[in-house]
Every structure is written in C-alpha cells, then in structure tokens.
Amino acid sequence: MFFVVKVTSGQEKIAANMLQNKLSKEQLPIYSILVVEGMRGYIIVEAEDELTVRSFITKERNIRGVLSKPLSDPEVEKLLAAKTYAQEIANGDIVEFTGGPFKGYKAKVLRVDEAKSDITVELMDVVVPIPITTKMATARVIQKKQKS
C-alpha cells in the first residue's frame, strides 16, 4: 500500500534521504520511498500498513505526519506517469504563453531542451528581444516553422 507522508515544503528530498538511511539500519516492511516531482510538501512511502509507516516516521526532522487514507494503485500510476506533451515544440515555431508572467505574449522558439522540458524563446513585439528560458507546459504552438 502507498501512503502519503507530509513533510516540510521544499525538504522532500532531504526527508526521503533521511528515511532511506534509517531504513537501511532497521528491518521494517517498507518497500519504497518516492519523491514525486511537483508534489511539494509530500513524499510517498510504500509499506505493509499504516501503523508501520507511522512508527517508521516518528520523531524525524522535517516530517509532519501521514495522511490517513492510502493511495489507490491508479492514483499512484497517475502520479508516476511521465508527463508528455500533446504538442511537439520545435526550433523556429511561434508559441503563445498560456500561463506565468508572460501570459498572452507570443514568442519565437530558439532552443528546445527535451530532457528538462524547457524552451528558450525570444519574445516578439518587444523593443529589445531578450532570450528567456521557460517550461514547455506554459506555452502552446500557434504557428509551426515554415518549411523551406
């Protein structure tokens, strides 16, 4: 079963490493400790039962408690599924920002970093075009690069 453990926001990796070190010293029915990207303030612990998790995390720094309801398998699969983007953004495409500080602005894509899901763009309709790196999820393609 998967249990959500509440931790200090921004300390997810530190808390998970601390629990991993503790687990290597103790023989408990804890199967995995997961830090899910984008889930601030929480980590997931796979264990036999809630009592095991509660006894495992007591008196640990940066750990605030366990949510009483375990996660179902479909919920865990949804959290762990790789984020894919329905659209392919390529160099030379024109995008429009759908969120963030540049919402509504149009920009030309200069570089795409698939590994980090980042794009480097140059805003259009500005006096001084400056390259900006942002997440792919904040933009949508409005015009594909012209093939020549």
- Helix, strand, or coil (residue 148): coil
Domains 2-80 and 94-143 share a fold: no
CATH architecture assignment, domain 2-80: 2-Layer Sandwich (3.30)
- DSSP character at residue 83: P
- Helix, strand, or coil (residue 93): coil
With a cut of 80, say whether residue 80 has pLDDT above it.
Answer: no
Residue 82 — pLDDT band, cuts 50, 70, 90? low
Roughly what angle, to the nearest 10 degrees, separates helices 12-25 and 50-57? 100
With a cut of 70, say whether residue 83 has pLDDT above it.
Answer: no
Please give the pLDDT value at position 99: 82
Domains of the chain, by residue range, sit at 2-80, 94-143
Question: What is the average pLDDT score of the chain?
Answer: 87
With CA atoms as reference, report the closest residue to 106 among 79, 90, 125, 119.
125
Name the fold adopted by 94-143.
SH3 type barrels. (2.30.30)
With a cut of 80, say whether residue 129 has pLDDT above it.
Answer: yes
Scanning the chain, the segments in alpha helix (DSSP H) are 12-25, 50-57, 73-80
Report the alpha-carbon distance of residue 38 to residue 9 in Å, rounded: 11
Residue 86 — pLDDT band, cuts 50, 70, 90? very low
pLDDT digits (tens, 9 = 90+) for 20-69: 999 988 888 999 999 887 788 999 999 999 999 999 998 888 999 999 89
